Structure 1
């Protein structure tokens, strides 16, 4: 899932289906639209997804590869690029345009999450004592992501929001992300050797397994 753009405090979530979200935490915002467009063209071109999106409020592309859906449970794929939205084009497909609600914040549907300081590993969640810096960083991220730093209440280190990881895989920030609708691919994080899930991850471009994984719940 993604959040509506936060202003102060925690933002409000948009409801959707149960999903697995792969988030590129390293890609710069200026490169996100090109990454999403490139993946769309490849997946639509080889018949993996429909070139036409569904669900106007949260665009997703139906998976046409029946074997993929059978093996993984994924029935649709969403492609996210910060500050962009999908629109129909005159050729029967879709393209990205500037604007829209995409802000690169992904988490559980109920808005709860816990992340850990990359320096001392202390957990931090919205509403915790000392979480004001986290909530401020979420607001800053949408306008000036390179300035979104979090002060750890435990060790006082200031570190980029992108480096804070969620042990429960319920939060990540990044300007390019891929939503897989229909299942929680737990094998991506629990160490199990699920060949179909690994192949899908590679098919989506995350060959090194570097993307953060977020499991969303309705």
Structure 2
């Protein structure tokens, strides 16, 4: 789900469960940690998740709401903020601190994906002819996201990486994201149990339905 080395190397993968990821592609990097902490406090406060994170490399919080598990299949929730990681706070809860692997790149566990140019709609994937600018943008994103632009090989337009969308829902970049472990929530796309999926989206703070949906599986 997370790239360690965008420059053509294999992504470092941390989990094999079916996951649904909601990515806020607009929130600024400086605001991501506060957003993740606010949602954590809300979800712990209303009994949705456990207060302590797992000890996995990719920290996640167990879902305590049995109705939510039954309705959606979601077993745990992960909260991501670029450049931060979770740890126990010594008081029975958790806190976000600087450091860790979070780089704001979310994709399938095998690292394959395709995205569309926001100007002309042409598809582009790593390894395609003309994809060098995409691969460079992935590398730039990790250090200077405001400078991560992709040149479309079809229309030659340079546009910010975060504006490129995946038609297969297998890629997005953003500094704040929520991972739902245990199911691909097709209801977020208007399929299957859309009511339960939409209710969960709202519980997670995405009231306008603006977060980009990414599905991942090993």
| TM-score tier (shorter) | over 0.9
2:170 alignment counterpart: 170
Q: Is 1:25 aligned with 2:25?
A: yes
Q: Hey, which bits of structure 1, 4+ residues long, moved more than 3 A? A: 190-193
Q: Which residue number corresponds to residue 217 of structure 1?
A: 217
Q: TM-score of the superposition, structure 1-length normalised?
A: 0.97
1:13 to partner: Cα distance = 3.1
Q: Where in structure 2 are there 5+ consecutive unaligned residues?
A: none
Contact 2:83/2:98 (8 A) holds in 1: yes
CA RMSD, Structure 1 to Structure 2 (Å): 1.2
For 1:180-199, what aligned pairs fall within 5 Å after superposition?
180-191=180-191, 194-199=194-199
Structure 1 residue 192: Cα displacement? 5.4
Give the distance between the partners of 2:101 and 2:82, measured in 1 at CA: 8
Q: Write the distance in 2 (CA, Å) between the matches of 1:187 and 1:10.
A: 33
Higher mean C-alpha deviation, range 163-172 or range 185-194: 185-194
Separation (CA, whole Å) in 1 of partners of 2:152 and 2:134:
9
Per-residue deviation at 1:11? 4.9
- Tell me the TM-score normalized by structure 2: 0.97
Listed as ranges, the gaps of 5+ residues in structure 1 are: none
C-alpha distance in structure 2 between counterparts of 1:119 and 1:11, whole Å: 29
For residue 158 of structure 1, what is the aligned residue in structure 2?
158
SS in 2 for 1:52: coil
Is the 8 Å Cα contact of residues 113 and 171 (structure 1) preserved in structure 2? yes
For residues 7 and 196 of structure 1, what CA distance do their matches in structure 2 show? 35
Distance (whole Å) between structure 2 residues aligned to residue 86 and residue 124 of structure 1: 34
Please state how far the C-alpha of 1:18 moved relative to its aligned partner: 1.3
Q: Distance in 1 between matches of 2:78 and 2:164?
A: 24
- Counterparts of 1:71-86 in structure 2, within 5 Å, are 71-86=71-86
Paired with 1:92 and 1:185, the residues of 2 have a C-alpha distance of 31
Question: Distance between the aligned counterparts of 2:50 and 2:23, measured in 1?
Answer: 22
Distance 1:159 1:21 in 2: 23
Give the number of equivalent residue pairs. Answer: 217
Offset at residue 55 of structure 1 (A): 3.3
